[in-house]
Chain A
Amino acid sequence: MYKATITIRLKTSVLDPQGNAVKGSLHSLGYGEVRDVRIGKTMEVWLDTPDAGEAEGRVEAMCRELLANPVIEEYEFRLEKGA
């Protein structure tokens, strides 16, 4: 059993309206040092797979096929055994 923790975020070339709005709020709260905010999502996926290499390949494929939209998003993930 492996647990994949996947982080998906907008590509840096794509404007993030939510991040910008949060940045504005942080500024108005006095956190003037905030230069940029980017908002993404985290997904946790549990796999019944005994092999780390296989788990990695499968999660990679899931990200490409469904979990991220390659036109505007990029992803990264880490695997933990037995989590």
Chain B
Amino acid sequence: MRFAVPVFPGSNCDEDCAKAVREILDRPVDLVWYKNGNLDPYDAILLPGGFSYGDYLRTGALARFSPVMDAVAEAADRGKLVLGICNGFQVLLEAGLLPGAMRVNDHLKFRCSIQTLRVENNRLPFTGLYEEGEEIRLPIAHGEGNYYCDDGTLKGLEERGQIAFRYAGENPNGSVTGIAGITNREGNVLGLMPHPERAIYGWMGTDDGARLFRSMLRYWEGMHGAA
């Protein structure tokens, strides 16, 4: 299983994502510059956190028009795994690969802390190694994580099991029903505000993020072999 991490001007979690793949999964991973429109060699795409294009206009709004995003849309369409973390989630929303939009945190502050999340659906390629309803701890670091969608969209997300994670207890940003991460209808595209790549060893404060990457590997190589 081969991983790509697209790098936009302003990405800053790209190396952390690559490191998580190398150290936790021991699989090949390449950083791919945003002007590269070819992701054919890869099975999974990790859109990293950061501040692509300085967050100008709206978070994720300008990154969406870079050549690599056409390739990400194609990869998603072909059933490859696409994971958007923090700014990567914002980019996926702006690109229309996930429904809804991101607003400024309801308290208007940038929030950097470890949050408790509840795994709402463990039948996804990204969550298979968690228990359903399990509470895990992952760090967040964002000023715009206040996820919004209208009531009709929310109902659809709930009915189809597209809500992967919710904040358990305190909601750190005001997101609709405490949503922390959602998938597309097919379940092969996940966006989440917390940073699993910053939670892969105990000394980081929590290693609960490691299982998200391991879940992806188990799902993919279970279906396609270890090539």
Q: A residues bordering B, Cβ < 8 Å?
A: 10, 13-15, 17-18, 21, 66-67, 69, 71-72
Contact = CB atoms under 8 A, between A and B. Distances in A.
B65 to A, nearest CB: 8
Contacts of B146: 17
Interface residues of B, number: 20
A18 B104 contact: yes
A35 B7 CA distance: 44
Nearest to B173: A17
A21 B103 contact: no
Q: Is the interface of B mostly helix, strand, loop or mixed?
A: loop
A42 B155 CA distance: 34
A11 to B, nearest CB: 9
A17 B101 CA distance: 15
A72 B99 CA distance: 12
B104 A17 contact: yes
Given A69-B94, A71-B149, A72-B148, A17 B57 contact: no
Given A13-B150, A14-B148, A17-B146, A69 B105 contact: no
B108 A17 contact: yes
Interface string B172-203: 00100000000000000000000000000000
A71 B148 contact: yes
Closest 6 CB pairs of A and B: A71-B101, A72-B101, A17-B106, A69-B101, A17-B104, A17-B108
Contacts of B103: 10, 14-15, 17, 72
Contact of A66 (B57, B99, B148): B57
Given A69-B94, A71-B148, A21 B108 contact: yes
